[in-house]
Chains A and B, each alone.
Chain A
Amino acid sequence: MKHLTPINCKAVRIQQTLERTQGEVIALQQPPPQHTPHFPLGCTLVFSPGWEADSNGGTAGLCQPVERDLFDCHTGCFWPAQVPDQLNHASDWTSKCASAQKDWRNIDLVFP
């Protein structure tokens, strides 16, 4: 920290915690550097809150519908192995699906 100087023990601990958590974003295939946390670039370890399970462990009360999972892979981080490549040859694969929660059944397979 440049503008704040920790004075008491608690401030020192806060500063150390902040320094520890300010690691760089690193791609999954790189080995994590020593002594700093590893933030993988990709979705398998970083969840949008609320779409794994609700407070009861089920899926009925999610803050986002479970179908949002599909779009999170598709738009949030490009993951061509699981969803069609919208940029190159399947630009309209979600055109029948205005709302993932209601219309997800309209999404079909895409054949290149």
Chain B
Amino acid sequence: MKLIPGEFHPFESAGRQFLYLVPSVAVFAVDETASAVLNELSRGPKERGEILSALYRRFAPSDVAGTIDELWRIRALRQSGMPPPPTPKQMPPDGFPLTTLVLNITNQCNLSCAYCYEYGDDKIVDTENGKQPKFMSAETARESVDFLLRQGEHNRAVHLAFFGGETLLNFPVVQSTIEYGRQRAADCGKTIDFSLTTNATLLRPEIIEFLAENQVGVTISIDGPKETQDQFRVFKSGVGSYDIVAPKVKELLKRHKSRPIGARVTLTAQTLDIVRTFRHLRDEIGFWEVGFAPVTTSTAREYAIENDGYNRMLAQFEQLAPEYRDAAIANQHHGFSNVKDTVEELHKGMSKAYPCGAGLGLMGVATDGDIALCHRFSGSPEHKLGNVRSGVDPLVQIGFLEKHHVDHKTDCSVCWARPLCAGGCYHEAHTRYGDTAHANLHYCDWIRNWTDICLRVYGESAERNPSYFQQLEPRTDNETSYAHQL
């Protein structure tokens, strides 16, 4: 029987060799003997005896034989000429509970960011002249809470996220919904928590007070220092929003300490100074964490990030990642949430059948109560799953889950990064390729390189300070980290 390497991504960190095994997503550090065995096999299929004789000068044959057995058992080796071990397609179980509901409490906004997926050139729904009301009524928001508690029946904790448009344009509904949600959750014996995304232009002391008192998690959409923020995040008059936003955010950060507050940055071809943006938002403004996401757009737009842009993005992420690693080793907080999210998934050993929880554990609600895959599709009849009053149409949901399973993405079947990426964002795919089930092929290289950086950060910090990661290990209650999905 000739042996060949199984499916894994090898990486090196701090002079040590590691394997990221696919599809099991296990991370193993390998010693010198194991590295030598894998190195021998990288040159072509070999019999066990051939490996032993190739390595007998460097390693005791019994050691090499033991190493081959160990590698075989973790499926880092397989038999040449035979198909890889089958991995059956696993569908989510029936009655999979809803964990997070994102309410688009308004589709109106007081800013006119050119790249906005809701208002910009690539919008899916006509929010100006379409059939959707511009603001969600308090009644629809209450019905959404009831739907969440009903649909999340088996969850002890559920999350309600307010999204827009600009959420603070409909602040009275935010207030009344939080009050109602608390009451109803207590009646059902569940806990509920709330989060809100805002552009911060409408923050006022009484709103800040309310958010702090009610422990509402806040994410601020902000692009960086003045010259960056004012490039795209402008009022309808074209005036930049930085001077309005910055003092209000500082006020919020000063008063609201009950939940960590994060900044969410949209990257464009013109605004790619990531390191400077990170330093500004974390050190000068005072955000607890900062996360970056490339703008979602079709290729024709001038702000679209193309190949060279992805390389620049990666180079700067690579500059920040070691800072995170050093902080983790020293048991300190760093605040670069992109690396934190990925490293957390690597540590827990996440293997995704779907790129995100959309249409499964997370759904979006449009202003009229229609349920969509996620907030990015809210109001789109094509991506509707049901309505908060009548519930989710199970056939539509099952059809969606069947079609979008990573096993149906042929391009992904040969990619070692598929357990983390699973083809990428449905909305991004819809915008680029007109098909939510299409793999996001335009950023495959980027995802693989980024995952490799995160693996190296993880490998070294997990070896040198395992206790840092023990705090990330799966808890028995529901996960609470969902803000990065927004």
Residues of A participating in the B interface, judged by any CB pair closer than 8 Å: 1-11, 13-14, 18
Q: Is A14's CB under 8 angstroms from B26's CB? A: yes
The binding surface of chain A is classed by DSSP as: mixed
Q: Which residue of chain B has the shortest Cβ distance to A1 in the bound complex?
A: B70
Please report the number of residue pairs spanning A and B whose Cβ atoms sit closer than 8 angstroms: 71
A14 to B70, CA, bound (A): 11
- Given the complex, which residues of A lie within 8 Å of B74, measured CB to CB? 4, 11, 14, 18
- How near does chain B come to A10, taking the closest CB pair, in angstroms? 3
Q: How far is the CB of B467 from chain A (nearest CB, A)?
A: 14
Residues of A within 8 A of B474 (CB): 9
Closest 9 CB pairs of A and B: A10-B349, A11-B26, A5-B29, A7-B27, A8-B27, A10-B26, A3-B67, A4-B28, A3-B34
B24 engages A10 (CB within 8 Å): yes
Is B30 among interface residues, defined by CB-CB distance under 8 A? yes
Which of A4, A10, A14, A18 sits near B30, CB closer than 8 Å?
Answer: A4
Can you list 8 pairs linking A and B with CB atoms under 8 Å apart? A2-B66, A2-B67, A3-B70, A4-B70, A4-B71, A5-B29, A7-B462, A8-B348
Nearest B residue (CB) for A4: B28
Closest B residue, CB atoms, query A18: B73
* Interface residue ranges of B13-65 to A (CB < 8 Å): 18, 24-31, 33-34, 63
**Does B34 contact A4, Cβ atoms closer than 8 Å?**
yes
Asked if B463 is at the interface of the complex by the 8 Å CB criterion, the answer is: yes
- A1, A5, A6, A7 — most chain B CB neighbours (10 Å): A7
A10–B473 Cα distance when bound, in Å, is 11
Contact call A5/B28, Cβ cutoff below 8 A: yes
Q: Encode contact with A along B321-363: 1 for CB under 8 Å, 0 otherwise.
A: 0000000000000000000000000111101000000000000
CA distance in complex: A6, B29 (Å): 6
* Bound complex: CA A1 to CA B26 (Å): 14
> A3–B33 contact, CB under 8 A?
yes
Which of B18, B25, B70, B469 has a CB less than 8 Å from the CB of A10? B25
Q: With A1-B70, A11-B349 given, is the CB distance from A6 to B26 under 8 Å?
A: yes
Q: A8-B346, A14-B24, A14-B26 are in contact. Are A2 and B18 (CB under 8 A)?
A: no
- Are A9 and B347 in touch, CB under 8 angstroms? yes
- Taking Cβ atoms with an 8 Å cutoff, the residues of B that contact A are 18, 24-31, 33-34, 63, 66-67, 70-71, 73-74, 346-349, 351, 458-459, 462-463, 469, 473-474
Q: Of A3, A9, A14, A18, which is within 8 A of B348 by CB?
A: A9
Q: Name the residue of chain A whose CB is nearest to the CB of B419.
A: A10
A11 and B70 in contact (CB under 8 A), knowing A3-B33, A3-B34, A4-B34?
A: no
List chain A residues, Cβ under 8 A from B66.
2-3
The answer on a CB contact under 8 Å between B349 and A6 is: no
| Residue contact B29 to A7, C-beta cutoff 8 Å | yes
Given A3-B66, A4-B71, A14-B26, A9-B349 contact (CB < 8 Å): yes
Q: Which residues of B contact A10 (CB under 8 A)?
A: 24-27, 348-349, 351
Instruction: Give the chain B neighbours of A9 by CB distance below 8 A.
Output: 347-349, 473-474
Q: In the complex, A92→B33 CA distance in Å?
A: 51
CB distance from B378 to the nearest CB of A (A): 35
A8 touches B26 (CB 8 A): yes
* A8 x B29 contact (CB < 8 A): no
Chain B residue contacts of A6, Cβ below 8 A: 26-28
Q: CB within 8 A of A4: which of B25, B29, B463?
A: B29
Q: Which residues of chain A have C-beta atoms less than 8 A from B349's C-beta?
A: 8-11, 13
Closest chain A CB from B88 CB (angstroms): 15
Chain A residues positioned under 8 Å from B469 (CB to CB): 8
A9 to B34, CA, bound (A): 21
How far, in whole Å, are A14 and B458 apart by their CA atoms in the complex?
Answer: 19
Residues of chain B within 8 A (CB-CB) of A14 are 24, 26, 74
* Cα(A4)–Cα(B347), bound, Å: 17
Question: Measured between alpha carbons, how far is A5 from B63 in the docked complex, in Å?
Answer: 15
Cα–Cα distance between A11 and B26 once the two chains are bound (Å): 4
Is the Cβ of B70 less than 8 Å from the Cβ of A2?
yes
Other A-B contacts than A4-B31, A10-B24, 16 sampled, CB-CB below 8 A, are A2-B67, A3-B34, A4-B28, A5-B31, A7-B459, A7-B463, A8-B25, A8-B26, A8-B347, A9-B348, A10-B26, A10-B349, A11-B26, A11-B74, A14-B26, A14-B74
A13, B348: Cα distance in complex, Å: 11
Nearest CB on B from A21, distance (A) = 9
Closest to A8 in B: B27
When C-beta atoms are compared, the residue in chain A nearest to B20 turns out to be A8
Distance in Å: Cβ of A23 to nearest Cβ of chain B: 14
A33 CA / B436 CA spacing, docked (Å): 54
A8 to B348, CA, bound (A): 7
Interface contact B348-A7, CB-CB below 8 Å: no
Which of A3, A13, A18 has the most CB atoms of chain B within a 10 A radius of its CB? A3
Whole-angstrom CA separation of A4 from B75 in the bound complex: 12
CA distance A9 to B26 in the complex (A): 8
Per the bound structure, the CA–CA distance linking A50 and B28 in Å amounts to 35
